[in-house]
Chains A and B, each alone.
Chain A
Amino acid sequence: ETGVTQSPTHLIKTRGQQVTLRCSSQSGHNTVSWYQQALGQGPQFIFQYYREEENGRGNFPPRFSGLQFPNYSSELNVNALELDDSALYLCASSHANLEQYFGPGTRLTVT
């Protein structure tokens, strides 16, 4: 059984650019949640996908969007990057609303 994986590990973007982060869920899991963790803070919920549909959203603007694919992997897209988007982005997979298992994260730096 493979765990949750994320790619890339880290990347650097310029303000105004767009970025796509990827997450492969753990085998048997149909739900993916995305979190943003700023330095020194706890993770903040961005949104959740269940069976390819957005299932809930936190307090993030529409330039944060996502997708979930038939194999339950997921993408997080952020448009018009701002300096404050610099953070560790974590995805977590679960089967429905059972325990969430986290990936290693993607460190995004916006300059």
Chain B
Amino acid sequence: KQEVTQIPAALSVPEGENLVLNCSFTDSAIYNLQWFRQDPGKGLTSLLLIQSSQREQTSGRLNASLDKSSGRSTLYIAASQPGDSATYLCAVPLTQGGSEKLVFGKGTKLTVNP
């Protein structure tokens, strides 16, 4: 059974700090991992999708890494801004029968203080 854990559950930082969000998964037989952003009461916005053949993926101030062997991924946010305040979720795909579902962590709630 695939389980995804995110640490910390909440994080509060001053504007301008670099920060790291952590995601761990129990079954390393994944072929990708995805990071999402969720604003309060809203849907999910995909930030980065890392294929298992990749070790890193970058988009602007965001950098995500994936280490399948250790069952870990990190999301690095550089020079944080108040607009980065949101909940960040990681998810891995799990294939059961003919369907593929995403298994999510509970998220890390980030607050960036001006």
Interface size classification for chain A: 20 to 34
- In the complex, chain A residues whose CB is within 8 Å of the CB of B45: 102
Please pick, from B36, B44, B101, the residue contacting A48 in the complex, using a CB distance under 8 A. Answer: B101
Closest CB in chain B relative to A51 CB, distance in Å: 11
Q: Can you list 21 A-B pairs, Cβ within 8 angstroms, ordered by A?
A: A6-B43, A33-B101, A42-B91, A42-B106, A43-B102, A43-B104, A44-B104, A45-B101, A45-B103, A48-B100, A48-B101, A56-B96, A56-B97, A56-B100, A88-B41, A90-B43, A97-B99, A102-B46, A104-B42, A105-B42, A107-B41
- In the complex, chain A residues whose CB is within 8 Å of the CB of B93: 97
| Size of the chain B interface, CB-CB below 8 angstroms | 26
Number of residue pairs A-B, CB distance < 8 angstroms: 63
A→B interface (CB under 8 Å)? 6, 33, 35, 40-45, 48, 50, 55-56, 58, 88, 90, 92, 97, 99-105, 107
Interface of B is mostly: strand
User: By the criterion CB–CB under 8 Å, are B102 and A100 in contact?
Assistant: yes
User: By the criterion CB–CB under 8 Å, are A41 and B106 in contact?
Assistant: yes
Q: How far is the CA of A48 from the CA of B97 in the complex (A)?
A: 11
Closest CB in chain A relative to B48 CB, distance in Å: 12
Bitwise, B88-114 to A at CB < 8 A (1) or not (0) is 010101011111111111110000000
